[in-house]
Amino acid sequence: MKHELPKLPYAYTALEPYIDAKTMELHYTKHHQTYVDKLNAALEKYPELQGRPIEELLMNIASLKVDEADRTAIRNHGGGHFNHSLFWKYLDPSNQKDKLLINEINLSFGSVDEFKKQFTDSAAKLFGSGWTWLTRNNTNSKLEIKNLPLQDAPIMTGLEPIFGLDVWEHAYYLKYQNRRPEYIENWWHVLKLI
Ligand code: MN
């Protein structure tokens, strides 16, 4: 079984003007597709791993019986596939606001505004390519903001991802060029947390 690009449940224009259609199209059809293709290529030698869900591969990344170069490829491209699949889902304009999550954010951070401030600050400070995540720690159920490098998925370190912001330049450069803070500010409009 090969991994596949999940269907995008909305049009490329759906997140305009905050995320432009051209960026959406390239991000989904080129970047995400490449992660899927390279993940499948990395699994080619390992038929026993091909039917396993991406979550399982990433949670067990350190112990997979694979060559080290393939482990790196599965981590990077598998992580890319997992992270982007979640990213598209969370930005779906037809999503309803999640009241339970908002309560949890209020309890953990004091207010949604304070949470947004901390998350924005974290994303602005992330050096190079990576993601800023809101995660739930599986051992104590606490909500935490985490910056993770490259395409490392939260599930690789026992964190449950709630949502993540892609701060690779490919996610915003066409529209925002070097203005990452503006991209982050505008992302709150499409996330529709409140
Ligand atoms: Mn991306």
Q: Residue 166 C-alpha to ligand 1 middle, in angstroms?
A: 6
What's the pLDDT at 194? Answer: 63
What's the pLDDT at 60? Answer: 97
Query: In the structure, what pLDDT confidence band is assigned to residue 190 with cuts at 50, 70 and 90?
Result: very high
**Per-residue pLDDT tens for 10-43?**
999 999 999 999 999 999 999 999 999 999 999 9
Q: Residue 35 C-alpha to ligand 1 middle, in angstroms?
A: 10
Report d(CA 48, CA 143) in Å as an integer: 35
Query: In the structure, what pLDDT confidence band is assigned to residue 139 with cuts at 50, 70 and 90?
Result: confident
Asked whether this chain's domains 21-89 and 99-187 adopt the same fold, the reply is no
Q: Residue 84 C-alpha to ligand 1 middle, in angstroms?
A: 6
Q: Residue 88 C-alpha to ligand 1 middle, in angstroms?
A: 10
Listed by start position, the domains of the chain span: 21-89, 99-187
Architecture, CATH, for domain 21-89: Orthogonal Bundle (1.10)
Q: Residue 187 C-alpha to ligand 1 middle, in angstroms?
A: 14
Segment (H or E) for 176: helix 173-176
In the CATH scheme, what is the homologous superfamily, with its name and number, of domain 99-187?
Answer: Iron/manganese superoxide dismutase, C-terminal domain (3.55.40.20)
Instruction: Report the interhelical angle of 33-42 vs 79-90 (nearest 10°).
Output: 150
